[in-house]
Amino acid sequence: MAQDTTGHLLAQAYSPANFRALGHQLIDLLADHLEKAHDPGNQQLINYRDPEDELKFWQNDFAHAGQEGSALRFFEDILDHSIHLHHPHYIGHQVSVPAPINALAGMVSDILSNGTGVYEMGMASNALERVVTDFTAQKIGYPATASGFITSGGTLANLTALLAARAAKAPQQVWTKGHGEKLAIMVSEEAHYCVDRAARILGMGSEGIIKIPVDKQFKIRTDLLESYYQKAVVDGLTPIALIGCAGSTATGSYDDLGTLADFCEKHHLWYHVDGAHGAAVAFSEKYKHLAAGMERADTIVLDYHKMLMAPALNTALLFKEGHRSYETFIQRAQYLWEAEQSPEWYHSGKRTFECTKLMLSIKVYATLRCYGASIFGKNVDQLYDQAQAFAQILHLAPDFELAVVPEANIVNFRYTGLPREQWDIKNGQIRQRLVESGSFYIVQTVINGERWLRSTVMNPFTNQQHFEKLLDNIRSIAPTLD
């Protein structure tokens, strides 16, 4: 009897008929969700709940696991308990508003569950990955020798890039023998925290992270590079790489990437550009000048899941000299491939941390295949244009202040219609009220020791009316604060 019950349960779980019926219902549910998101009056951005209350809700739900009930109700609850990125009032974190075609591509990927570590397990996905990364490298301006792959996020991609730098520039074969030298990297103090984390994982410690100050526009001060480099050498460090920012963490500022390239050539450093956010301007004729010089980098990180319409996580790591990508992880895995050093692009496991990697390429390729190669540039232009419009509204508002004129789609500002000594604490309270009300989602950051409200325009349908409404909401909240 137990075997019959188990067999019936598994048959239900794998039933094509059940999948078809629930799938049609789910697509209708999600389509309705998208329609509501386009009309802010029909749907809240977030139904905020206290963390403990949220946990209790799902603990109670889990207590009914396996019982008869509507599977669709589960998905309805997920929607109700999640933030809605397609809502035009979402201007918070740097996460793209995914094109719906990606959800369908993801469904195909999840049903197939083809890993990409070895060719036979991911024939289509490895080929799609090659097409997508070649296309991206070409847009950046890399030569025909370039190559790359897709991995799970900018943090992992930046770590892999620094491993490649170590393999290329370290004074010994550290992959096989370890390193006794005190290696170091040079990086802007505005760089993403994952670069700092990667350097520590590589064993460089805090001393091996040479942080260069930034100017008033939050760009790395190129006039200080030489003095910081020489001091590091005197201190017994061996700098191996310099990291430039194509879109810094807090403000989205672009470093002078051409001057950084000159410095790296002078000192034979590995030049890496963290363009997780801002390298996407390579697809824009209007804004690509911001990243001029990026094409001279040895490696570049670019997140498709930021401004290129893909769901997280989905990141390209590109090498100007493609053969370098095979030198990072040289090790034997005879059950996967025969030759450990041969440059076989179709075995992605040779070049990434991941072996059984998701079919990430299908989501990027699906958007390009369905809508054409120009869609990425159009999206970047729209997001950057709207950020400029928002900055202009803030500039003209007497009770708001801009932290810096934005280059990208990241806009930092604060409400100043309060006594000066209250700006820090009150702006933080305003943000929390906005989130709890479900009306808007923005985040906050600290710049030069002061709190600022931070918005990132990620939704191509967010417009000036929404920005004006945000400022009006802030003005109405401020007088109600204790």
Q: Provide the CATH number for the domain around residue 192.
A: 3.40.640.10
Residue 3 belongs to a domain: no
Report pLDDT digits (tens) over 395-454.
Answer: 999 999 999 999 999 999 999 999 999 999 999 999 999 999 999 999 999 998 999 999
Same domain, 426 and 348: no
Same domain, 325 and 427: no
- How many CB atoms sit inside 10 A of residue 185's CB? 28
Last residue of a domain, one of 371, 402, 417: 371
Same domain, 330 and 416: no
**Count: domains in the chain:** 2
Residue 325 has pLDDT above 90, yes or no: no
Last residue of a domain, one of 314, 341, 371: 371
Same domain, 324 and 452: no
Residue 52 belongs to a domain: no
Residue 262 belongs to a domain: yes
Cα(406)–Cα(120) distance, rounded to whole angstroms?
46
Same domain, 335 and 431: no
Domain of residue 116: give its range.
107-371
What mean pLDDT do residues 70-76 have?
Answer: 91
- pLDDT score recorded for residue 330: 57
For the sheet containing 400-402, what is the strand order?
Answer: 400-402, 410-415, 450-456, 443-447
Same domain, 115 and 160: yes
Q: What percent of the chain has pLDDT over 70?
A: 91
What mean pLDDT do residues 298-316 have?
Answer: 96
Residue 302 belongs to a domain: yes
- How many CB atoms sit inside 10 A of residue 82's CB? 11
Least confident interval from 80-94, 336-350, 374-388, 456-470: 336-350
**Residue 479 CB-half CA count within 13 A:** 4
Residue 141 belongs to a domain: yes
Same domain, 132 and 213: yes
- pLDDT score recorded for residue 7: 80
Point out which residues pair with 188 in neighbouring strands: 212
Residue 101 belongs to a domain: no
Report pLDDT digits (tens) over 49-66.
Answer: 999 999 999 999 999 888
Q: Which helix H or strand E contains 21, and what residues bound it?
A: helix 16-37
Contact 387, 406 (CB under 8 A): yes
Same domain, 258 and 357: yes
Residue 123 belongs to a domain: yes
Cα(323)–Cα(265) distance, rounded to whole angstroms?
19
Q: What is the CATH number of the domain that holds 395?
A: 3.90.1150.170
Last residue of a domain, one of 348, 371, 394: 371
Same domain, 391 and 463: yes
- pLDDT score recorded for residue 206: 83
Residue 65 belongs to a domain: no
What mean pLDDT do residues 456-479 have?
Answer: 96
Same domain, 333 and 390: no
Same domain, 171 and 271: yes
Same domain, 220 and 283: yes
Nearest to 271 by CA among 246, 251, 237, 247: 246
